[in-house]
């Protein structure tokens, strides 16, 4: 028995019959037809939308992450990365630590401003994640 025969026999003995996938179906559309379907799909993947319409199934509700152009997503990602790599959070944490141990006198006015800065940064991060179509952490 050759090596190929031995390998084929071992693969067949795995118990899983191999099934061939169906060949993909191709459909040519004009740019205007494609644009029309994209509008009708309302963010759903175009292939899934067309399949649902042809077969009479319910239109999929799964939306793409974002309808933003790649350049916008890249720019927003860079802003989010800059926010994450900045020392702002670390500096605020150090100020909070110094205030807790009494090394930094904090008036109620300063405390309010620090809390406002933290909330501002959280909201900025949330907005960036939303713009990128990403899910943020649970609300803290």
For residues 65 and 133, is the Cβ–Cβ distance under 8 A? yes
User: Region 48-68: what's the mean pLDDT?
Assistant: 75
Residue spans per domain, the chain:
29-64, 70-132
Quick one: pLDDT band at residue 127, thresholds 50, 70, 90?
confident
Compute the mean pLDDT over every residue in the chain, rounded to the nearest whole number: 77
Greater confidence, 134 or 110? Answer: 110
What are the tens digits of pLDDT across the range 25-49? 888 999 999 999 888 887 778 888 8
Residue 31 CA: distances (Å) to CA of 25, 35, 37 = 19, 6, 10
Greater confidence, 65 or 95? Answer: 95
What are the tens digits of pLDDT across the range 85-113? 778 878 888 887 888 888 888 788 888 88
Distance of alpha carbon 107 from alpha carbon 85, whole angstroms: 29
Judge whether residue 63 has pLDDT over 90: no
């Amino acid at each position: 028995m050759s090596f190929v025969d031995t390998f084929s026999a071992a693969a067949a003995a795995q118990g899983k019959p191999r099934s061939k996938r169906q060949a993909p179906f191709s459909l040519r559309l004009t740019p205007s037809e494609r644009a029309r379907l994209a509008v009708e799909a309302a963010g759903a993947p175009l292939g899934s939308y067309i399949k649902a319409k042809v077969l009479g199934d319910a239109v999929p509700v799964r939306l793409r992450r974002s309808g933003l152009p790649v350049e916008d997503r890249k720019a927003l990602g860079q802003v989010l990365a800059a926010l994450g790599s900045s020392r702002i959070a670390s500096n605020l944490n150090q100020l909070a630590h110094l205030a807790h141990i009494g090394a930094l006198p904090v008036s109620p006015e300063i405390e309010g401003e620090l809390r406002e800065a933290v909330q501002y940064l959280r909201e900025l991060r949330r907005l960036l994640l939303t713009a990128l179509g990403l899910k943020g952490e649970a609300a803290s």
